[in-house]
Amino acid sequence: MNVITVKINGIEYNLKGDESEEYLHRVANYVDKRLRTIMENNNKLSASSAAILTAINAADDFFKYEKYYDEAMNKVKRLIENEENMKEQMEALKKQLMHLENYNKELQNKINALQNESKKDIEEELLNIKKEMEVLQETAKNYLKENNDLKIANKELKFQLQTSKYKLIDVQHKLLENQIDLVKIKKNKNPLVPGNTK
């Protein structure tokens, strides 16, 4: 566990946490900056009032990031559903390909049988086979492109989701630190605590 001394609004506090010292300093600097900004904008505010407003601002950030996280999760869920649909479509396409391969074999057998027939009849049959294969190749190409696009979108959403998680954790830590600071400030201001003066 790391223990560091930080200054918030000119007052030293000892922070303890499992996070790195750099992270604890970031949290303290964030709170100090927000608190100073609020106090500079309204110099009539008491330190405890400014601390409450700082905590409210941090909570506001937290809820906004939480909403962003929920939206990202919904996008991921929709993307997973789309991916499942694409898998089903790919399975159907594989079955269709197998059917067409069998059909192609049948046609090849017909071609072999037609070798003794007129060249014109053979050329027509070959042309039909070629058209069917071109349609099949185009369909397969489109399905593969759609599947690739979905994979790329899924990867991007997973990255956004991970980023949102880190931001949410960061805001949670900031909120907790603000609450701790508020309790310390209230304790320091309490005239019933020995050593405190009015």
Task: Tell me: pLDDT of 123 over 90.
Answer: no
pLDDT at 116: 63
Dihedral sign from CA coordinates of 139, 144, 147, 153 = negative
What is the residue type of 155? K
d(CA 168, CA 64): 9
Q: What is the pLDDT of residues 81-113, one digit of tens each?
A: 999 999 999 999 998 889 888 988 888 888 777
Q: Which of 57, 47, 12, 28 has its CA nearest to residue 186? A: 47
Question: What's the mean pLDDT in 9-26?
Answer: 91
Q: What is the pLDDT of residues 137-146, one digit of tens each?
A: 998 898 889 8
